[in-house]
Amino acid sequence: MASGSYRNGGPKPTSKLDRLPPSTAYSTPKPSAKPRPSAAPVPRRGGSVAPAAASAGKAGGDAGVPGRVRVAVRLRPRNAEETIADADFADCVELQPELKRLKLRKNNWESETYEFDELLTEFASQKRVYEVVAKPVVESVLEGYNGTVMAYGQTGTGKTYTLGRLGEEDTAARGIMVRAMEDILADTSPETDSVSVSYLQLYMESIQDLLVPANDNIAIIEDPKTGDVSLPGATSVEIRDQKSFMELLRLGEAHRFAANTKLNTESSRSHAILTVHVKRSLKGKHDADHGFPSENGTSSTLVKSFRPPIVRKSKLVVVDLAGSERIDKSGSEGHTLEEAKSINLSLSALGKCINALAENSPHVPVRDSKLTRLLRDSFGGSARTSLVVTIGPSPRHRGETASTIMFGQRAMKVENMVKLKEEFDYKSLCRRLDIELDKLMAENERQRKGFEDEIERIRTEADSRVAEVEKGYNYTLENERLKYQQDNMDSIKKLEEKWMANVNRARVEHQSACLEKAPTTSSSADIVEVRQLLQNEKLLRQSTEEVVVNLKREISHWKRLEAAGSSEIVKLRKMLDSEANQKHKLEEEIAILRSQLLQLSFQADETSRSLDRGESGKALTGFDSLVPQARHPQLRDSANGPKASIAKLFEQVGLQKILSLLESEDHDVRVHAVKVVANLAAEEANQDKIVEAGGLTSLLMLLRNSEDETIRRVAAGAIANLAMNETNQELIMAQGGIVLLSMTAADAEDPQTLRMVAGAIANLCGNEKLQTKLSVEGGIKALLGMVRCGHPDVLAQVARGIANFAKCESRASTQGNKVGVSLLIEDGALPWIVKNGNHDASPIRRHIELALCHLAQHEVNAKDMISEGGLWELVRISRDCSREDIRMLAHRTLISSATLQTELRRLHIEF
Choose the stretch contacting ligand ADP; rule: CB under 6 A; options: 157-165, 612-620, 708-716, 735-743: 157-165
Beta bridge partners, 416, equal: 67
Residue from 3, 160, 342, 897 in contact with ligand ADP (CB under 6 A): 160
Residue from 10, 31, 153, 801 in contact with ligand ADP (CB under 6 A): 153
Report the distance separating Cα 201 and Cα 517, nearest Å: 161
Rounded to 10°, the helix 842-856/884-896 angle is 20
Choose the stretch contacting ligand ADP; rule: CB under 6 A; options: 152-160, 370-378, 580-588, 888-896: 152-160
Residue 32 CB, nearest approach to Mg ion (Å): 36
Chain centroid to Cα 439, Å, comes to 50
68 binds ligand ADP (CB under 6 A): no
Nearer to ligand ADP, 323 or 759 (CB): 323
Residue 130 CB, nearest approach to ligand ADP (Å): 13
77 binds ligand ADP (CB under 6 A): yes
Nearer to ligand ADP, 156 or 785 (CB): 156
Look at residue 654 and give its three-state secondary structure: coil
Nearer to ligand ADP, 161 or 872 (CB): 161
8 A C-beta contact, residue 761 and residue 721: no
8 A C-beta contact, residue 764 and residue 733: yes
Residue from 76, 329, 352, 846 in contact with ligand ADP (CB under 6 A): 76
Q: Is 35 exposed, middle or buried (0-12, 13-18, 19+ CB in 10 A)?
A: middle
Residue from 28, 155, 270, 878 in contact with ligand ADP (CB under 6 A): 155
Task: State how beta strands 147-153 and 384-391 pair.
Answer: parallel
Choose the stretch contacting ligand ADP; rule: CB under 6 A; options: 8-16, 65-73, 88-96, 156-164: 156-164
Report the distance separating Cα 50 and Cα 70, nearest Å: 30
161 binds ligand ADP (CB under 6 A): yes
Could you give phi then psi for residue 319, rounded to 5 degrees? -115, 120
Residue from 28, 157, 160, 603 in contact with Mg ion (CB under 5 A): 160
265 binds ligand ADP (CB under 6 A): no
8 A C-beta contact, residue 276 and residue 314: no
Tell me the residue number closest to ligand ADP, measured at CB: 158
8 A C-beta contact, residue 856 and residue 809: no
Q: How far are the Cα atoms of 433, 493, 502, 504 from residue 498, in angstroms, in the given order? A: 95, 9, 6, 10
Picked from Mg ion, ligand ADP, none, the partner binding residue 153 (CB below 5 to 8 A depending on kind) is ligand ADP
Task: State how beta strands 65-68 and 415-418 pair.
Answer: antiparallel
394 binds ligand ADP (CB under 6 A): no
Tell me the residue number closest to Mg ion, measured at CB: 160
The span from the first CA to the last CA of the chain, in angstroms, equals 157
Nearer to Mg ion, 152 or 424 (CB): 152
Cα torsion 342, 345, 351, 354: sign:
negative
Rounded to 10°, the helix 684-692/709-722 angle is 110
Report the distance separating Cα 597 and Cα 606, nearest Å: 14
Per-residue contact flags (x/-) with Mg ion for residues 677 to 706, judged by CB under 5 A: ------------------------------
**DSSP states along 427-492:** HHHHHHHHHHHHHHHHHHHHHHHHHHHHHHHHHHHHHHHHHHHHHHHHHHHHHHHHHHHHHHHHHH
621 binds Mg ion (CB under 5 A): no
Per-residue contact flags (x/-) with ligand ADP for residues 518 to 547, judged by CB under 6 A: ------------------------------
**Amino acid in position 392:** G
Residue from 157, 208, 348, 797 in contact with ligand ADP (CB under 6 A): 157
158 binds ligand ADP (CB under 6 A): yes
Subset of residues 713 to 752 that bind Mg ion, contact rule: CB under 5 A:
none
Residue from 9, 35, 47, 156 in contact with ligand ADP (CB under 6 A): 156
Residue count, binding to ligand ADP (CB under 6 A): 13
Subset of residues 604 to 623 that bind ligand ADP, contact rule: CB under 6 A:
none
Picked from Mg ion, ligand ADP, none, the partner binding residue 785 (CB below 5 to 8 A depending on kind) is none
Report the distance separating Cα 771 and Cα 774, nearest Å: 5
Report the distance separating Cα 211 and Cα 370, nearest Å: 19
270 binds Mg ion (CB under 5 A): no
404 binds ligand ADP (CB under 6 A): no
Picked from Mg ion, ligand ADP, none, the partner binding residue 409 (CB below 5 to 8 A depending on kind) is none
Task: State how beta strands 310-320 and 422-424 pair.
Answer: antiparallel
Q: Which residues bind ligand ADP (CB under 6 A)?
A: 76-77, 79, 153, 155-161, 268, 390
Q: Which residues bind Mg ion (CB under 5 A)?
A: 159-160
